[in-house]
Structure 1
Amino acid sequence: MSVPQGFMESLLEWVDDNMQRPLRIEDVAKQSGYSKWYLQRMFTGWAGKSLGAYIRERKLQLAAADLKNTSDRILDISIRYGFDSQQSFTRTFGKKFNTSPGAYRRTGEETLN
């Protein structure tokens, strides 16, 4: 399925601009003008991963940058990026980066997977 490059780039720009709010696939689909099912198929074909995985990974990348560059509490960062709790954020962060948010902040690791 062919997807125009400009379409996806503008859609991802919108996603990035709305990353600090609860972002559901339905919201992205509404913005795109496609059904959520069709959009997910298009996105997976274009990006090689699901839209949900992209959003989750992007939120974790932004949270990691906040951990490194701010003194905001981990709880506040987890809420900022839409996690249900600090425990949920810590578990998801650990699965992705093999370290806890607190350990990441203390060590100041530069490179994450």
Structure 2
Amino acid sequence: MYWVKEMQNTIAFIEGRITEDISIEEISCSANTSSANFKRIFSIVAGVTVGDYIRYRRLSLAAKDLIETNYKIIDIAIKYGYETAESFTKAFTRFHNATLSAVRRKKSTPKTFEPLLINIDIRGGFVMRRKLIPNIPELQ
């Protein structure tokens, strides 16, 4: 279960730097593994690539900022790593299926993409005997 703790620590590393320009090399280094190995393991565990995870988290947080603050759209775009308002608008609209103005005016509910939490639940581990019951009467 050591890998679960390492993965949670790496997710915390990503979350702590979500508004910064972080590379896969920095992330994999924090996980004490190679970039290729980390990308493979992360996508298996999370169900999304590292890049998509970061993008979805940023767009989710950007929607929160859009609703809760009066920051200019370009300021929110830059905060979450977009160089232009146009690229931010395009990514935001694709992810949330809503325009920036609709979300800001609360006419549309944005998607939320919460931080990944790995929870392992192991059950079973016992042997069951199989017994066939012949001619079960039908229930009426």
Normalised to the residue count of structure 2, the TM-score between the two structures is 0.73
Runs of 4+ with deviation above 4 angstroms: none
Cα deviation for residue 33 of structure 1 reads 2.1
Structure 1: which amino acid aligns with 2:29?
K
Q: Equivalences for 1:1-113 in 2 at 5 Å? A: 4-107=3-106, 109-112=108-111
TM-score (norm 1): 0.89
Instruction: Please identify the structure whose Cα radius of gyration is greater.
Output: 2
Q: More helix per residue: 1 or 2?
A: 1
Letter matched to residue 67 of structure 1: L
Counterpart Cα distance in 1 of 2:86 and 2:11: 28
Q: Match of 1:61, SS?
A: helix
Aligned mates of 2:35, 2:52 — CA distance in 1? 14
Q: For residues 102 and 26 of structure 1, do their structure 2 counterparts lie closer, same or farther at Cα, with a shift above 3 Å needed?
A: farther
Aligned-residue Cα RMSD (Å) equals 1.8
Give, in whole Å, the separation in 1 of the partners of 2:93 and 2:77.
13
Unaligned segments of structure 1, at least 5 residues: none
1:32-67 Cα shifts (integer Å, max 9, x gaps): 222211100010111111111100000001101101
